[in-house]
Every structure is written in C-alpha cells, then in structure tokens.
Structure 1
C-alpha cells in the first residue's frame, strides 16, 4: 500500500510503460489507483474510527459493552427491517447475515490485483517476440520534443532496428510442420508464432481478452463475496433516480442491524440479541455504487476496444489499407505496381506483428512520427535485393483498371 501511494507522487511511475493503448491503462493503472484510494478510505474508517456501535442491555457494564462491540464486529450481523418481527429460528437469522463489511479492504485489494495481472503477464512475456517494445515506444514518444535532425536520426535508427527484427524472425527451413503452422497463423491470430509474425499480436489480443473477462468476472466475484445480487445493483439505483424515489436505507448496505452472541457464566449459557449501527456502511454504499458504474463503464469501453482490435487484425486487408494510408501521405503510391508492392510490404514484410507495432507507435506518439517511420521502412524494403520489382500494368495511369484507380485514389 505504501508503494502504491508513493507512486502517486511520480507521473512516470504511475503511467508505467507505453507499449499499450489508453484503454489498457484505464484498466491496469487508473482502476488500480482508484481501488487503492477506496482501500485507504475504508481502512481508515475501520481502524481509525469506530465502525460499529451496539445498543446493549442496561445490566451490561463497560467490559460487557466492549465485548459486545467486538464480537458483533468480527462475527456477522444480520438485517431485519424495523417493521418485521425478528425470526425465532436461528437458521433463519443466519440466512440474513451480512458477511462482507469486515473484508471490504481485502476485497478492494484483490480486485486491484486482478486488474493488474493481465498487464503483468504482458510485461513479462511480450519480449518473447524479440522486440523491446517498451524502449522503442518510449523513444518514438520522446521524438516529439527533439530537434529535427535528432528526430530524423532517431527514426532512421528505429527503422533499421525494426528492419533487422522483421528479417530475423523468418523461417529458415520449410517442412510439413512449418507449413501447417503458417496455415494456422494465417487463419487464427492467436497462434503465437514468432517466425510467422503473429506472436506479439496474438499475445496482445489474449491480454485484451483477459481484461474483458476480468471485468465481467468482477461482477460475479463481488456478487459471491457480498452474498447479494450486486450484478443488478446499478440498474436498481437508476430506476430509483428515474422514478424520483426517496433515498431510503438499502437492505444491501443496512446501517442498523442485529447481532446474536452467547455469554458463558459458569455452566450457564445466556444468549443475547443486541441492535447495532454500522456507520461504515455509509461509506460502503456510496463506494460500491460508484464501483458498479465504473466497472460498467470500463466493461463497455474495453469490450468495444477488443472487438475493434479483433476486426483490424482478423481482416487481413486492413494491414495493407493501414500502411497504404501513410505511404500515400508520403506520395509513394503512384502506380498499380506501387500498390501491389505495398500489399507485399504489409503482408510479407511487416505482417501482423509489424503492423501492430506501428499501431502502438501511433497511439503513443504522433501521426507525423509514424508517417516518417513507415517511409523509412518502405525505403529499406525497396532497397533490399530480395524485394521483387513489380511494374505497373500499363504505362498510362488513366488506363488502369477501375479497382486499381479507386485504390490509388
């Protein structure tokens, strides 16, 4: 907890690495910080303040009152509305027990850990693709404040570094197994093939999926921890606000509860039922309302973001379309031959991992930096002796097929 709070004083430590997008950081940074703040608030109310007060019989002395408060706090109280009679059966009282309020700080810390785990997996394993993405993205982000000469030199270095990485991760022998793996990587991007150019992309999509599953699972975990229908809690709040109903005591976060405990005096066991007030639930109710809406908001954004990434990765035509946009900005697509070479550049040279790295660069830097980086990679690709020379279908640009002219436009 001290480490998390000390990190708030440093933006660089709080922001973490930049090899992901802002939706990821919304999950593993801002949500974790928010839950840490709530943990401090609730813990202060529990351990610094007085989280429970009990109305004890008149014959109770000070020691008895202190004992009643402690036993009712560590055991579970139960809720019965004032208009209802207290159940006679002990089992019926136990079914009404509130089991969560002592463990709220632990619940928040566990939730924060679950939000951080996908990011930790990404940090530990993304270098398996052979590229130090964190360092490279940091360099491209810093170029926005460099001098023009330093900026061009850094972009050339990054382009050469990516060129060596792209050429190093190639198949150096071919057999039935290699061809089968290439087929699988072409069909499913989740096939983590380093030499097929799908390792980083597939692993990133898996991490994205973990973020989505984590948020959905958080609702069910809270429902299990709190023994209530927390999944629908936010909709009930919105219904009350829409109908302008007065804000009354919630059975989920009651402030006045009942507590049963037994006192042994020699061989006699006396059972007492006392009425207790839980001031801590004033904080818990508002915090859990905010958490429900925050999780719902994050779940919608993360799901949309995941589907968007899936679309751009699974539809292979998007690779050439993405690269062609920046090559046209550099005036490098001038004929049908350049257009065909652009497709080979995206599909055979950059592949899924190369295009993915460019997208992460664009999300953490600027379009100008990405435009220049694509240009240098394009020139390195064309200068390679192994790159095929593709001539335009016709010398007259106006006589090219309609689909080619539309693509060039």
Structure 2
C-alpha cells in the first residue's frame, strides 16, 4: 500500500468518528488527546516507515574493502556516532560535516545514535498511550449518555408530542437516579487527570529517548534564526545528524584485525527532525490545555457558583428559581451527567428539559415522592434510587 493510501486510512478513521451519530461524552481537550494526537502519531509512524519518500534510510561509504550492503546493514543494526567536540567548526575547511572530524581510539568523546531504529515503534506506542484514557472512560461510561439521550440528539424531534414525551421521560430518569452518579463522575475526572499525566509523561519519555535533548529542542530551534549566520549550528542537525561515522572491523588475509571507517548518510533524519519539532510545540500546547481543563473541572467540583454560571451562560438557562433548584439539589455526578446531555442536545430542547427538571425537583423535594411514572421500563440498565446505596454529598 502506498504512503497516501496509509495516510488516507488514518484520516478516514478520524473522519468516520466525527460523522457517526454518537453521543459526545467528553470535552474538546479530551478529544484532542485520543482523536487528534493519536492520529498525528500514527501518521508520523507511517511517514517514518515510508522508504519511497527518502529512499534507503541509511547509506554508508567506505574505501571499498567492505560491500556496501554489508556496511549499511551493520551500521543500521548497531549504531553510528558523531563527535561533539567537532560541532560548530567550519564545514569544508575544518570538518567535512557537522560533528565529524579526526577520530582516534583514545578519544572517548563520542555521541552514539541508535534511536532511529526505534522511532516508528515509539511513535506507535505513544499513539496507543494517548488513546488509553478514552478507552477507559468509554468502558466506564457504558453508553449511558447515548442511551438516555436517544432520539433527542442533534435536530429537534419531528413532533411536539414526541419531543415532550421524550423530555418527560429523561427528566423523570434524572430524578429517579438523583445522587447516584458520583461514581460515574469520578471515572470522568480520573480519565481527565490521566490525560494530563499522560501528556507530561510523554514529554519526559521523549526527552529520555533522545538523550535529554527534547526539553530545549524547540527553544533552540527558535533561537537559531536569530544567531550570527557564520557562527551558528543548526540544533536539528545536532540532535538528528544527517551524516555520521561508523566503524567496521574485520579480519584481513593474514588474520590481522582491520578497521574500516565509514561515513553514513541518515536520510531518515530529514523526516525525524520535522516530526519532533512539530511534536514539541503540539505537546506543549496540549499540556497547557489539559492543565487548564483539569483546573476547570476542579473549580466545577469545588464551587457550586460556577455550575450556576454554566447553566446561565453555557446553556442559556436563565430562570433564577430553576437555576437555584438544580444547583442546590444536585450533586457533582448529577451535574456532570446534565452537562454531557447539554452537549448532545439542541439548545432550545435542553433549556426546556432544564425548566421541567427544576420544577419537578422542587416538587420532588417538597413532596418526597416522584411526580411521574418510574423510568425502569425505559432504562432497565439503571435501576431506581432505592436499589443503590446513597452516596455522600460532593
């Protein structure tokens, strides 16, 4: 399969996930982890394994005493190296290429490069890591939002009678299961925290993988353009050298060990350096957004006034008595379920649901009894409140 075919397969997967009529069970930042970031990493993995873009990943030249295919294979499966003390010297007069120069056995200042063997595997593994929190939350959630919002997601219902009947059943379900969704909410907040830990962990992981060069990689690339052109070294060439050295030993005709020095062109690093500079910026942005999203969720849990603001501004529900009833009578798990429902329903319909819910909440609290038939027959997988142990207040 061609590179474009593999890339279109990844793009098609992302596109299908957006077009299918599925319930939204998370926020935008959450989706950036398992949809956008995973797709980016899988696409980069495909690019790294596409020899048609760059030709052979490594080509070595020597004095002709060793066959080219032998030296290429040997240097690829072992490792190549550069000389850090030769960095920054003028190319063409003092050194042949950045980081290359005279080398003696007593000189231990060498920097070995073997990461290029593992880049595709690392990118694929990281793509899986960014998908894991979504997989955990999807199995924890068990399709609850999709089930109880069935027929009300997206456009308005076909008739007023059908719409009002569905709204009444949804409102009654929320009342029947009041204060029973805190465990449900804990799963969401756990996976949201896991997203933040995951992106920070991946940044540290890449830094260790590249020998401690990733943390400052982006800032050094940005500052490179402002340096004196005659006295500057491209940081991308330092981290991802395009030409390296390789030493091959073999026995001569009389049994003497002979050393053959080779220069190896790593064409694959042309792609690697672009991939990792993009990942540096993207992961930093994603880490900041994930931290803000986690802080936002923490504020929602701690401050009921923020929940009131969300109802008034995010969902345009402005009835003072209704907002007070919902915020005061609902725990954080109930509010999270309501918030996720609001992301899946038309604004007008959801405002009517909130209005009816606030009225029934007042009646339910005052009379201590349901105001409509039970919803057990409609949602059998979620039994009524009295069959569950009552959870503590959030």
TM-score (norm 2): 0.76
1:38 is the counterpart of 2:25? no
Specify the alignment match of 2:189 in structure 1: 205
| Residues 144 and 15 of structure 1: CA distance in aligned 2, closer, same or farther (over 3 Å) | closer
- Corresponding residue to 1:58 among 54, 64, 71: 64
Q: CA deviation at 1:115?
A: 0.6
SS of the aligned residue for 2:262 comes to strand
Q: Give the whole-Å Cα distance in 2 for the aligned partners of 1:90 and 1:225.
A: 27
Q: Single out whichever of 154-163 and 113-122 deviates more from structure 2.
A: 154-163
1:380 Cα deviation from its structure 2 partner: 2.4
CA–CA separation in structure 2 for the residues paired with 1:326 and 1:119: 24
Displacement of 1:229 in angstroms is: 1.8
Q: Which residue of 2 aligns with 1:367?
A: 347
Query: C-alpha displacement at 1:357, in angstroms?
Result: 1.6
* CA separation of 1:13 and 1:4: change in aligned 2, threshold 3 A: farther
The answer for the alignment partner of 2:178 in structure 1 is 166
Q: For 2:241, which of 250, 254, 258 is the aligned residue?
A: 254
Task: Give per-residue Cα distances to partners, 1:40-89, cap 9 Å, x unaligned.
Answer: 111113899311111111334xxx21100001111111123463644424
Q: Of 263, 267, 290, which aligns to 2:250?
A: 263
Cα distance change, pair 48–292 in 1 and its aligned pair in 2 (3 A): closer
SS at 1:166 equivalent: coil
Partner of 1:392: none
Question: How has the CA–CA distance of structure 1 residues 97 and 14 changed in structure 2, closer, same or farther, with 3 Å as cutoff?
Answer: farther
Change (3 A) 1:278 1:371: same
Q: RMSD over aligned Cα, in angstroms?
A: 3.3
Native 8 Å contact 2:59 2:264 kept in 1: yes
Is the alpha carbon distance of 1:11 and 1:199 closer, same or farther for their aligned partners in structure 2, counting shifts above 3 Å?
Answer: closer
2:383 is aligned to none
Residues 14-49 of structure 1 deviation map (CA, whole Å, 9 limit, x = unaligned): 897510011110111111111111111111138993
Shift of 1:217: 1.1
CA distance in 2, matches of 1:261, 1:137: 67
Structure 2 unmatched runs, 5+: 1-5, 369-394
Distance 1:284 1:72 in 2: 18
Deviates more, 1:247-256 or 1:271-280: 247-256
Residue pairs, 1:130-141, within 5 angstroms: 132-136=144-148, 139-141=151-153
Q: Which residue of 2 aligns with 1:92?
A: 108
Tell me how far 1:284 sits from its aligned partner: 0.7
Separation in 2, partners of 1:325, 1:47? 50
> Aligned in 2, Cα 1:11/1:200: closer, same or farther, shift over 3 Å?
closer
Mean CA deviation greater in 308-317 or 281-290: 308-317
Preserved contact between residue 54 and residue 267 of structure 2 (Cα < 8 Å):
no
2:375 corresponds to which residue?
none
Q: CA, structure 1 residues 204+326, in 2 after alignment: closer, same or farther (shift >3 Å)?
A: closer
Alignment of 1:7-86 (within 5 A): 7-8=13-14, 10-12=16-18, 18-45=24-51, 49-60=55-66, 64-80=67-83, 81=86, 83=95, 85-86=101-102
Offset at residue 255 of structure 1 (A):
0.3
Is 1:110 aligned with 2:125?
Answer: yes
Higher mean C-alpha displacement, 379-388 vs 96-105: 379-388
Q: Do 2:148 and 2:170's aligned partners in 1 also have CA atoms closer than 8 Å?
A: yes
SS of alignment partner, residue 97 of structure 1: strand
CA contact (8 A) 2:154 2:346 kept: no
Query: Secondary structure of 2:60's match?
Result: strand
Which residue number corresponds to residue 397 of structure 1?
A: none
Contact 2:57 2:267 in 1 (8 A): yes
Q: Give 3-state SS (helix, strand or coil) of 1:272's partner.
A: strand
More helix, by proportion:
1
1:76 and 1:328, CA in 2 relative to 1: closer, same or farther beyond 3 A? closer
- The SS at the match of 1:92 is coil
Partner of 2:265: 277
Deviation per CA, 1:330-379, whole angstroms, max 9, x where unpaired? 64x4xxxx48xx5454233x211111122223334443233122112123
Q: TM-score, normalised by structure 1?
A: 0.74
Q: String of CA shifts for 1:222-249, please: whole Å, max 9, x gaps.
A: 0111213201111112222355857846
**Worse overlay, 247-256 or 27-36:** 247-256
Structure 1 portions without partners, runs of 5+: 170-196, 389-409
Identify the residue that residue 392 of structure 2 maps to in structure 1: none
> Do 1:326 and 1:371's aligned partners in 2 also have CA atoms closer than 8 Å?
no
**What displacement does 1:317 show?**
3.3
Match of 1:380 in 2: 360
